Structure 1
Amino acid sequence: MIRILFFLIVVFALGLGFAWLADRPGDLELTFNGYRYEITLMVAAVAVTAVVAAVMIAWWLTKAIWNSPYTIARYFRVRRRDRGYQALSTGMIAAGAGDAAKARLMNKQAAKLIRSDQEPLINLLDAQTSLLEGDHDAARQKFEAMLDDPEMRMLGLRGLYMEAERLGDRAAARHYAGRAAEVAPQLVWASTATLEEKTERGDWDGALKLLDGQKSGRQIDRDVANRRRAVLLTAKAMSLMDTDPVAAKNAALEANRLQPDLVPAAATAAKALFRQNDIRKGAKILEASWKIEPHPEVGELYLHARPGDAAHDRLTRARKLEALKQNNPDSSMIVARAALDAREYREAREAAESAIRMQPREGAYLLLADIEEAESGDQGRVRQFLSKAVRAPRDPAWVADGFVSDRWAPVSPITGKLDAFEWRAPVERLTPLIEPYVDLEEDNQPALAAPAEADVEDTIVEPAETAATPVEAAVQPTAGPTDAAKVEPGRMETPTAPRPLREPRQRAAKASEPDAFMPTNPPDDPGVTPEDEVEPTPRRFRLF
């Protein structure tokens, strides 16, 4: 743009000069070698301008001819470079799409057209292609070679980190992440891996310092940083609870201030306050946490805030928790347990049944069994509640990466991830187990073998002289390996496929049915409840 303006200014100046000369006519007289030349001023100006232009053109032509070899070489070099970058771009797209063959072809073309020391992306494409081809050893060698190049060092560390994560070598992965974090602390993946490594070693102060650096560098959001800081402070308070109660209390209180909904932070802060006889402040923290989300650990701490309280005093505190969070199964469960300890069986039963109506689960049925055994000792109803507990969904627990724990931890024991534990029902059994085990793949097991035995007894059957009835043949056991000597000579027995093993959960459900362990003559067994009773339908089977 500046060149265009300068050109326009020069043309405008020349135009003004020639116009000024045209308005002022004159003659120019020149004597040279005995001759006298007379020309007008305008012709002289045009001649001078033409001579200058001719000199400039001659100089440009001379320079172009002199530099023509370099110009031609540069043209072909630029053309070669453009083809190389086109091949490199196509290869990167192919590598991203998972086309290993095309990526390798484009990598070879790019390496021929562009030198790898001039374009580091060729090394990256080569390593990515090796990964797509499954040659991880070659890829690791290429990533290690990148460590010598300052421009490619971070890329090499990232590749080695990903390979170590793939192999499950967490120590090597965190080593590479630590090296990357020392050089470039702004890398989120490196700082996160280093943070997990410090938390696994229990270096809570170092982890908090690294987290502050991430927050100041705006690598993570403010809410995420506050959550992680609360988790780290809670873990620090739990580790200092026995050695430094004051520091543990300060860390737990700060964690509770940052994340009031973090149950371990509230529980740890309350424990620290209770140890310093600050019952009132600790109870307020637990009440605030209970209002946000009721948790059994919070309820137990609240009930046993004063160890010398009587059972009825704990029941009164449980009722207060229920008033803070009404129509909640955990509130009803805490009242039911406290009432059972106080021997208020009626209130305990009503609270447990209310919890079941809101959310049927294993713990509520087990609590009903305890109440029934403590109040009446009716073993029949106790077994009934126990069988329902087996079929009911499991109680919530601390779950992280499929690992179920009774206690909260700051990191996952499986992957080492920070703040991985969640309070939820384990995935092993989310719905009640009602249907019995049925092997649909067995062709040799008749459907009427199990239910037909009771009906056959009610059917009048004449004594059979020779052949067995179809029902008898169906319920007769199949000869196994131990019965091979009983098979008549000349008669071939069809071997039956072995029955597959039942799943552990199904075996446990079958073994927990009342009929599996009911005594021979239980006088106190009430049988099934009226809502579970089903009117039997009479059935008859034709034997011939």
Structure 2
Amino acid sequence: MTKYVIAILLFIALLAGFLLYVGDNAALTLTSSAEAGLFQFSPITLTWQAVIVFTTAIIVFTLLTWTLLTWLWRLPSRIRSGVGLRRRNQALDAMEDALLAGADGDCDKARKKAEKARNLIGSEDLGRIVSAQAAEACGDQSEAVAQYTAMLESDKTRATGQHGLARNLLAIGDLSRAIEQAEIAYADNKNARWAFDVLFQAQMADYQWNEAAKTLEMGERRKHIDKEAARRRRAVLLSAEADRISDTGQTQLATNLASRAASETPEFAPGVALAANLLNLTGEKKKAISLIEKAWAKRPHPALAIALLDLIETEAPKSRRKRIDALIKANPSHRESHMLDAEEKLKAGDGVAALSVLAPYLNLDSEAEPPTARLCQLAGQIEERLGNMSDARLWYERAATAPLEADWSDLDPQSDSFDYSDADWRRLTFSFGETGALIHPRHEAGAPRRRPGLPEPLPLESEAVVKRDFEDVTQTPPRTMPETPPGESTKKDLSQRLDKLLDKPKE
């Protein structure tokens, strides 16, 4: 406003200066050559100052008149714009209220406010988006599905409708329709990362292992998933499909799928164990053993040892021991190799050698990692074989409260180590696929444990059994179980007693 006032004042000042410059001496005389009629008039004499002022007045009057007429002409549209702006502000307030009510869980208010916003906006597409988001915010997925379905009718909102519809159908368990919408969207837009995620999750939830593997390959090509994660997920999917079709009698196809999974991802023990079992069934025992050894070199696992022991069960003791030594040699410094070595020495009756192998892992220092339940169980078996019943009982008691091993140490040698349901395979696809962590479904679900490791020669489960063991094995009264003060290390005692055992001649 100030700049306009300044401009007017400046114009007046310039005009006044110009009038002073012209002065009132010079005059302008107007005459007419007409002798009669309208244009015949007497000569008119005007000063130039009067002419300038009159001319300026006419120009100003013309501008003001034009401005007034223009303002009157535009007044109706301005009135309409003001009403529209007011409606728009009201619509924005209604949208905000709808979303906030949905976030607060007030579904009735969210629905009413969304309806009000839809009426005020005047845009059916935007109104549906607001209604769908409000319904999602308050958990009304059926209403959200209805609104997203309606969005498919408009080209402008079709992609948004597919996204919201597929996501909500997956949430309510309508897997076939979720897969359909995600497939269409992923085919139409190769950059739709959400379509890959929804499609893969829906196929996994429907246990469509083969279709999920195809989606995984497409997602990997489009860089919607990391290559390492895709490789691990593919191993689980191939193993799950092999496990499924093996029950239908398609042994060769199942063997091919499992062998591919084991070759590409040898650190996935369930796939390797399954492939070894299927290869053995098809008469390819050597290949099965080779797969286990390669997997052991990559990532030793107790189930692989059990799988190997099953394969060589009928071989001669010398050949059997040679196979086991070759497996241990594939990764000699690993804890599982030492565990397998200790178990085999215990089976051979050499408890002293078994305890010697296991001793580094039985450190009970408070600062060290405590022995797991599996280690305690094996230590108890070794002590029991050596006739140290009080120490055996102590290790068995520790096994009951020791930390568990999440990567399948809880195995039953007499049954399938990976007798998985479809839900178990699905869980592994994400847990192992994302991080490479192997967590047994029983461990994850907190299910009761099975007896791990070797079949216990003398399981100590009650005081009566302990007493019987002392009478039958040692023929001497049991020693008083030593009480170790909390936090005090027993590593020194164990090493000293181990030295004494090593000095004794073997019986």
TM-score, normalising length: structure 2 = 0.60
Aligned to 1:210: 215
Aligned to 1:337: 343
In structure 2, the CA distance between the partners of 1:119 and 1:388, relative to structure 1 (3 Å rule), is closer
* Distance of 2:425 and 2:324 partners within structure 1: 39
Match of 2:252 among 240, 243, 247: 243
Aligned to 2:120: 113
CA deviation digits over 1:193-220, x for unaligned, max 9?
A: 3224445677655434422433344434
Aligned to 2:431: 420
Contact 2:251/2:278 (CA < 8 Å) preserved in 1?
no
- Letter matched to residue 199 of structure 2: T
Aligned to 2:321: 312
Match of 1:69 among 60, 76, 95: 76
* Distance of 1:520 and 1:298 partners within structure 2: 33
Give the % identical residues: 22
Match of 2:333 among 324, 331, 336: 324
- Letter matched to residue 320 of structure 1: K
In structure 2, the CA distance between the partners of 1:205 and 1:41, relative to structure 1 (3 Å rule), is farther
Match of 1:348 among 344, 354, 359: 354
Aligned to 2:301: 295
Matched, 1:360 2:333: no
**Shift, 1:423, TM fit:** 2.8
* Distance of 1:353 and 1:383 partners within structure 2: 17
State the secondary structure of the residue aligned to 1:406.
coil
Match of 2:417 among 403, 406, 409: 406
Decide which moves more: 28-37 or 339-348.
28-37
* Distance of 2:217 and 2:47 partners within structure 1: 85
In structure 2, the CA distance between the partners of 1:386 and 1:184, relative to structure 1 (3 Å rule), is same
- Letter matched to residue 288 of structure 1: A
Match of 2:463 among 507, 514, 532: 514
Match of 2:87 among 71, 74, 80: 80
> Hey, which of these two has a bigger chunk of helix by percent?
2
* Distance of 2:46 and 2:256 partners within structure 1: 105
CA deviation digits over 1:440-468, x for unaligned, max 9?
A: xxxxxxxxxxxxxxxxxxxxxxxxxxxxx
Listed as ranges, the gaps of 5+ residues in structure 1 are: 1-14, 400-404, 433-510, 535-544
**Shift, 1:75, TM fit:** 1.5
CA deviation digits over 1:324-349, x for unaligned, max 9?
A: 32xx3x23211122224444443234
State the secondary structure of the residue aligned to 2:438.
strand
* Distance of 2:348 and 2:461 partners within structure 1: 30
The 5 Å alignment of 1:85-484 reads: 85-100=92-107, 103=110, 106-107=113-114, 109-115=116-122, 117=124, 119-120=126-127, 121-124=129-132, 127-128=135-136, 131=138, 138=143, 140-153=145-158, 156=161, 164=169, 167-168=172-173, 170=175, 173-174=178-179, 177-178=182-183, 180-182=185-187, 186-199=191-204, 206-232=211-237, 242-244=251-253, 248=257, 251-252=260-261, 255-256=264-265, 261-264=267-270, 275=284, 277=286, 282=291, 285-290=294-299, 294-300=300-306, 308=315, 310-317=319-326, 319-321=328-330, 323-325=332-334, 328=335, 330-352=336-358, 354-357=360-363, 360-367=371-378, 389-398=399-408, 406-407=417-418, 412-413=423-424, 418-420=429-431, 422-424=437-439, 426=443
* Distance of 2:472 and 2:111 partners within structure 1: 81
CA deviation digits over 1:27-84, x for unaligned, max 9?
A: 9998755488999999999999987776565444323323322321221122222222
Decide which moves more: 265-274 or 212-221.
265-274
**Shift, 1:181, TM fit:** 4.3
State the secondary structure of the residue aligned to 2:78.
helix
* Distance of 2:175 and 2:252 partners within structure 1: 31
Aligned to 1:487: none
TM-score, normalising length: structure 1 = 0.56
Q: CA RMSD in A?
A: 5.7
- Letter matched to residue 339 of structure 1: K
State the secondary structure of the residue aligned to 1:61.
helix
Contact 1:198/1:207 (CA < 8 Å) preserved in 2?
yes
- Letter matched to residue 371 of structure 2: P
In structure 2, the CA distance between the partners of 1:229 and 1:533, relative to structure 1 (3 Å rule), is closer
* Distance of 2:273 and 2:352 partners within structure 1: 30
CA deviation digits over 1:476-510, x for unaligned, max 9?
A: xxxxxxxxxxxxxxxxxxxxxxxxxxxxxxxxxxx
Contact 2:275/2:288 (CA < 8 Å) preserved in 1?
no
State the secondary structure of the residue aligned to 2:126.
coil
- Letter matched to residue 423 of structure 1: L
- Letter matched to residue 93 of structure 1: L
State the secondary structure of the residue aligned to 1:337.
helix
In structure 2, the CA distance between the partners of 1:43 and 1:183, relative to structure 1 (3 Å rule), is farther
CA deviation digits over 1:243-294, x for unaligned, max 9?
A: 25995488337623xxx6444566678889993856897476335313xxx3
CA deviation digits over 1:171-207, x for unaligned, max 9?
A: 5654554455455564444422322444567765543
**Shift, 1:355, TM fit:** 4.4
Contact 1:83/1:113 (CA < 8 Å) preserved in 2?
yes
* Distance of 2:465 and 2:305 partners within structure 1: 37
- Letter matched to residue 333 of structure 2: L
- Letter matched to residue 195 of structure 1: F
**Shift, 1:142, TM fit:** 4.3
* Distance of 1:245 and 1:144 partners within structure 2: 40
The structure, 1 or 2, with the larger RCO (C-alpha pairs under 8 Å, 6+ apart) is 2
In structure 2, the CA distance between the partners of 1:276 and 1:321, relative to structure 1 (3 Å rule), is closer
State the secondary structure of the residue aligned to 1:512.
coil
**Shift, 1:313, TM fit:** 1.6
Contact 1:396/1:423 (CA < 8 Å) preserved in 2?
yes
* Distance of 1:340 and 1:299 partners within structure 2: 15
In structure 2, the CA distance between the partners of 1:84 and 1:184, relative to structure 1 (3 Å rule), is same
Contact 1:252/1:266 (CA < 8 Å) preserved in 2?
yes
Listed as ranges, the gaps of 5+ residues in structure 2 are: 1-13, 22-26, 35-40, 364-368, 410-415, 450-459, 485-507
* Distance of 2:291 and 2:142 partners within structure 1: 57
* Distance of 1:61 and 1:37 partners within structure 2: 33
